[in-house]
Amino acid sequence: MNKKSEVTTSVSKENNPDAQSGSSDRPEFDLTLPEWYLNRELTWLEFNRRVLHEGQDERTPLLERIMFLAIMGGNLDEFFMKRIGGLKQQVGAGVRKLTVDGRTPGEQIDECYAVVRNILVQKEELELELLSKLAEQEIRIVGYQELDKDQRKEVDNYFQENIYPLLTPQGMDPAHPFPFISNLSINLLVVTKYHHDAHPFLNRIKVPTGVGIPRFIRVGEEHLYIRFEDLIANNLAVVFPGLVVDSCTFFRVTRNAITEQAGANANDLLEVIETALRNRKFAEIVRLEVDAKMSATHRGMLAAELGIDEEKDVFTVEGIIGKRDLFEIASIDIPEFHYPLHQPLDHFQLSGDSPNIFHVIREKGALLLQHPYESFDSSVQRFLREASRDPKVLAIKMTLYRTSAGSRIIPYLLDAAQNGKQVAVVVELMARFDESANIRWAENLEEAGVHVTYGVVGLKTHSKVIFVVRRDFDGLRRYAHIGTGNYHAGTARMYSDLGILTSDRVIAQDLTELFNYLTTGYAPERNYRKLLPSPRVLKKALLEKIEREIASHSTKNPGKIQFKTNALEDKDITAALYRASMAGVQVDLLIRDTCRLRPGLPGLSENVRVISIVGRFLEHSRIYYFQNNGEEEYFIGSADIMKRNLEDRVEVITPVEPEELRKVLREILDVQLADQRSAWEMQPDGRYIQRTSKREKGSHDILIEKAEKRLSDAQALCRLEQKRLVKRKKGQRKK
């Protein structure tokens, strides 16, 4: 083992003699060495192996297995656009700096490609298996040639009426240069010739998307589908009349999405983002996918025209190109092929005929929200809806990172402005792939008189906060929602997130300081008493709390740290957790995807376990727990343990102090750490092994049941109180 005595980390007896009995035998580890850190990109790909496994697992309902296959397709698209695109930029810029795990950008690309190609083989095997199983259940995706005469006539008529007018065939010859190929579009490469002439003509047809035509076109009344591009390919005689179609194959390109310009000196951030979006459209290509029937000549021609390495950057696809579109099939409404229906419930203290939500928060205390187990609409959207209409509400402030067209968030903000309230919204324009939507939201809000700002130059605003100022009977009172997830009605039904509704006066004061920072961009002496915002406070606070846990640990009073987060990427926090393990502190990490730390290494991380939960919901919440010598601390918020979140973003982590809410967080952590259905445990080499037992219920199902019981118990108590009230009134009338 490589050690450097001048830069070693060990545990000193002097700090806590009781904790260090036998510590002189402990080896010393140089925590600067790359061998202790796993690669960010490779561990993210390992997460996608676990996602793929949900599609391979026969316990998963059939259409949900299709959904996981579609998720994998979308995830790999994003991986190439963001991660491979960024690495290729580094290679192009001559970056030689090694990552903390000791790899160059080029080495990371090569290793990622090897893993990706292995995953693709499994993906294509799974596609064949699932299409066969769908066919057994009379859900079939077929080729045009498999249709009978009447079915062909039906789809040919559909082509003539709905598709043909939208097509723009483009020739490729000296008079028609190679056309621009848009990102993630499905394209046909068509070779034609005259009947009595062997000279070939190359043509490209883009499959028109976003025009209301599904990728999988339904044929007849049964669940029989044909692919959009297959229908075009079998009607080329209409597109090229009088010509012989020699061949038709499909291809798809992926472009780099990392195109933002540095905004530190930008005079107009909105203009910078709009320019970046235009640049992204024409960004370099990082991947070419071709179907297996394409000739080597045409494959090489496309690679040359697109400026990519044919050997490395071209991927042959057996089966459906662009598997993310299988979401259309996964959404078929056949209940027995889906997970049991889960309808998000009202929070038990907001159910029934509960009064004004601000009265509930003031009288009941803080409320902890669990999505999607509890309804986003009847809690978060209700909070904003009532704030927009309540005549006693004077001001609403909010951060907006992502939202959806189906969400009522924007209309409620517009209503609030029209109702004469002061409304200020911090819109993050650089939320990846949501930039265009956020620009539109910002413009709509500004037109309605909302104060719109774009946060602090050079920092993404990733925090999830709504802040309401209300004139209560006893003066001004501030209310807030602080969450782990975006204000997005769609993801609130699929992502596992947490939020807190509170009127805590100290938290409210901290939020006043935070919004003043966001709307001015200045950070003078802003003292936060409870919140842990980044970039100035959070990382330092986490490191201090880890060191405090080390210092207070003893055999009589063992320390414990538990983090639940999407990623553990920051080297400093990882090294601190290694030190905690070496000191004997138990470290439990629920990490969804990227994790640099290697658990279970003797002497270094034998007190650490890393668990990943993959199931019907996407784990997205963040919980930070410190045993703190018996004075336990719980925090929730928007930040993952990544360098970018801790140093380059505005995040908000809030303490959860009411005992009844801490019990719920403890329950979540305990349920997920004990999961035997959806949990994967990381091995020292970075591999994951799925836990298996006869218990079929995973943590998501258990948490659904617990949410149902909370609501049921609250309703039963309410009925009991009503009976008591009726009995009391009867007794009063008798008197």
Cα angle, residue 379 at apex, residues 376 and 381 outer, rounded to 5°: 70
Cβ density class 17-52: b for 16+ within 10 Å, e for less: eebbeebeeeebbbbebeebbbbbbbbbbbbbbbbb
Does residue 524 carry a pLDDT above 70? Answer: no
**DSSP label at residue 675:** -
The structure tokens listed for 441 are 């939201």
pLDDT digits (tens, 9 = 90+) for 172-190: 887 788 999 999 999 999 9
Beta bridge partners of 679: 613
Q: How far apart are CA 502 and CA 392, in angstroms?
A: 17
How many other C-beta atoms can be found within 10 angstroms of the C-beta atom of residue 661?
A: 19
State the residue for tokens 């439990």: 588
AA identity, residue 236: L
> What's the CA gap between 548 and 546, in Å, rounded?
5
CA distance 547 to 575: 11
Of 3, 10, 32, the C-alpha closest to 584 is 10
Please give the model's pTM, rounded to 2 decimal places.
0.91
Element (DSSP H or E) covering residue 618: strand 618-619
pLDDT digits (tens, 9 = 90+) for 563-611: 999 999 999 999 999 999 999 999 999 999 999 999 999 999 999 999 9
Catalytic residues: 462
Position 294 scores a pLDDT of: 97
- Choose between 389 and 13: higher pLDDT: 389
- Alpha-carbon span 338 to 494, nearest angstrom: 14
Q: Which residue has the tokens 């991947």?
A: 287
Q: In this predicted structure, what is the pLDDT of residue 282?
A: 64
| Mean pLDDT for the stretch of residues 223-233 | 98
pLDDT tens figures, 135-173: 999 999 999 999 999 999 999 999 999 999 999 999 988
- Check residue 196 and give its pLDDT: 86
Does pLDDT of 695 surpass 80? no
pLDDT-based confidence at residue 267 (cuts at 50, 70, 90)? very low
C-beta neighbour count of 452 within 10 angstroms = 22
Cα(533)–Cα(482) distance, integer angstroms:
12
Give CA–CA dist 77/287, Å, rounded.
Answer: 9
**Can you tell me the distance from the alpha carbon of 608 to that of 585, in angstroms, rounded to the nearest whole number?**
9
